[in-house]
């Protein structure tokens, strides 16, 4: 800790602590004095903030559990789906990033204007079709880069409809979007929902069936979904807060029934090992507290916690809590004070060393000048 905090930071922490403000944990902060620069591409402006991107990612990640269950039920085998990436790019870059021959569905998104594209690349679409047909294995002699037949497109539509139901459920808390398949295609260049320079948000899911895997992509044009992005942020982060408070309640419920040992120390003293070894019956031990004093220290699980006054309640020994002993805060204060004193001592030592060096240089200069004047010419 001493390696990271400056003297000003130590003084500031001490000021806060001594004013009675809480210090939850010691904070170690490394402040970089270097300026950070980032390159901005005017051709590809960042339309989505990091918070919006994080919330968008969380929303689709949340959708995966139901999607995995539905896909496993449809194919009657265990599958794995994970969120592979979420990126901002132009629509032209999206078209270039997918195979030219692939499976594409264009969907309307009423009441919003515009459309989205869902693409399932050949690496996994042929496997899904084979599983739906019951064979399970893709014919090794079959060219996966070929266009799907009309029958294969119809079979794969069952998969798309199931996925769209999960997509609808994921968006239902944000906005009731009515997804409807408008067109199906196998040629990426034939789909044009926005201009090539329009910014889109590309969500890529990786689907693994047996040992074969491929990508399922959702292309969201930002111009249509931008009004909903803040709603996504609000929904996801409110759910996060609710989960956090719920977790706190669960932890509180779990620990509330835990039994902890409570001890009240009325008085104490110290004895030498010799005295203890020679104790015998009828010996009297005198404690270091006045006989009339009723003060006590309360320990919870061997840890000093409260100061109290001892007495009697209902014919039983009892204590009344008077103060909470915040030892951790005091330890932090002591540590900070020790650090400040250590730095002050080092500063004084350094100042003294510099003073001595200057004195030595001054004396050497005087000696040199004296020798110069005394030297015969």
Sequence spans of domains, the chain: 50-241, 262-281+290-327
Report the pLDDT value the prediction gives residue 62, as an integer from 0 to 100. Answer: 87
Banded model confidence at residue 119, pLDDT cuts 50, 70, 90: very high
DSSP annotation of 114 reads: S
Q: In the predicted model, what is the mean pLDDT of residues 253-268? A: 82
Q: In the predicted model, what is the mean pLDDT of residues 266-292? A: 87
CA end-to-end span of the chain: 63
Report the pLDDT value the prediction gives residue 375, as an integer from 0 to 100. Answer: 58
Give yes or no for a cis peptide into 341 (omega within 30° of 0). Answer: no
Tell me how far CA of residue 300 lies from CA of 206, 263, 284, 293, in angstroms: 52, 7, 29, 22
Interval 87-113: pLDDT, tens: 999 999 999 999 999 999 999 988 888
CATH fold of 262-281+290-327 reads Surface presentation of antigens (SPOA) (2.30.330)
The 199-209 sheet, strands edge to edge: 79-90, 199-209, 212-221, 115-120, 101-110, 178-187
Q: In the predicted model, what is the mean pLDDT of residues 263-288? A: 88
Tell me how far CA of residue 268 lies from CA of 97, 202, 264, 279, 295, in angstroms: 77, 70, 11, 17, 12
Ranges of beta strands (E only) in the chain are 79-90, 101-110, 115-120, 178-187, 199-209, 212-221, 262-265, 295-300, 303-313, 316-324
pLDDT over 90 at 327, yes or no: no
Report the pLDDT value the prediction gives residue 79, as an integer from 0 to 100. Answer: 93
pLDDT over 90 at 257, yes or no: no
- Domains 50-241 and 262-281+290-327 agree in fold: no
Report the pLDDT value the prediction gives residue 35, as an integer from 0 to 100. Answer: 47
pTM, to two decimals: 0.55
pLDDT over 50 at 270, yes or no: yes
Selected residue with higher pLDDT from 243 and 215: 215
What is the distance between the alpha carbons of residues 124 and 131, in angstroms, rounded to a whole number? 11
Interval 358-371: pLDDT, tens: 887 777 766 655 66
CATH fold of 50-241 reads Chemotaxis protein chec (3.40.1550)
pLDDT over 50 at 33, yes or no: no
Banded model confidence at residue 21, pLDDT cuts 50, 70, 90: very low
Report the pLDDT value the prediction gives residue 136, as an integer from 0 to 100. Answer: 61
Q: In the predicted model, what is the mean pLDDT of residues 186-206? A: 90
Give the percent of the chain with pLDDT over 90.
Answer: 26
Tell me how far CA of residue 276 lies from CA of 223, 257, 280, 281, 289, in angstroms: 84, 39, 9, 12, 20
Report the pLDDT value the prediction gives residue 204, as an integer from 0 to 100. Answer: 94
pLDDT over 80 at 249, yes or no: no
């Amino acid at each position: 800790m001493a390696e990271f905090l400056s003297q000003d930071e130590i003084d500031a922490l001490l000021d806060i602590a001594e004013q009675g403000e809480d210090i939850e944990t010691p904070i170690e902060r490394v402040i970089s004095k270097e300026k950070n620069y980032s390159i901005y591409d005017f051709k590809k402006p960042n339309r989505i903030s990091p918070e919006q991107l994080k919330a968008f990612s969380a929303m689709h990640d949340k959708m995966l559990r139901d999607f995995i269950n539905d896909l496993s039920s449809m194919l009657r085998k265990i599958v794995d789906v994970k969120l592979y990436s979420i990126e901002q790019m132009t629509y032209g870059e999206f078209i270039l990033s997918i195979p030219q021959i692939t499976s594409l569905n264009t969907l309307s998104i009423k009441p919003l204007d515009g459309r989205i594209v869902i693409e399932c690349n050949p690496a996994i679409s042929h496997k899904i079709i084979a599983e739906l047909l019951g064979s399970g294995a893709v014919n090794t002699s079959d060219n996966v880069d070929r266009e799907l037949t009309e029958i294969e497109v119809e079979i794969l539509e069952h998969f798309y409809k199931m996925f769209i139901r999960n997509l609808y459920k994921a968006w239902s808390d944000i906005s009731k979007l009515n997804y409807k398949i408008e067109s199906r295609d196998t040629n990426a260049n034939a789909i044009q929902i926005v201009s090539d320079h329009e910014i889109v948000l590309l969500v890529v899911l990786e689907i693994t069936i047996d040992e074969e895997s491929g990508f399922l992509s959702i292309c969201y044009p930002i111009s249509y979904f931008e009004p909903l992005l803040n709603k996504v942020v609000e929904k996801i982060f409110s759910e996060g807060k609710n989960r956090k408070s719920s977790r706190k309640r669960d932890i509180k419920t779990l620990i509330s029934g835990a039994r902890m040992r409570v001890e009240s120390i009325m008085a104490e003293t110290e004895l030498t090992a010799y005295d203890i070894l020679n104790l015998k019956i009828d010996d009297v031990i005198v404690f270091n507290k006045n006989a009339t004093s009723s003060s006590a220290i309360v320990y919870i699980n061997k840890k000093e916690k409260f100061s109290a006054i001892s007495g009697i309640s209902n014919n039983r020994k009892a204590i009344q809590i008077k103060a909470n002993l915040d030892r951790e805060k005091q330890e932090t204060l002591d540590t900070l004070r020790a650090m400040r004193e250590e730095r002050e001592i080092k500063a004084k030592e350094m100042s003294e060393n510099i003073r001595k060096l200057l004195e030595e240089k001054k004396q050497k200069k005087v000696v040199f000048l004296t020798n110069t004047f005394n030297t015969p010419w």
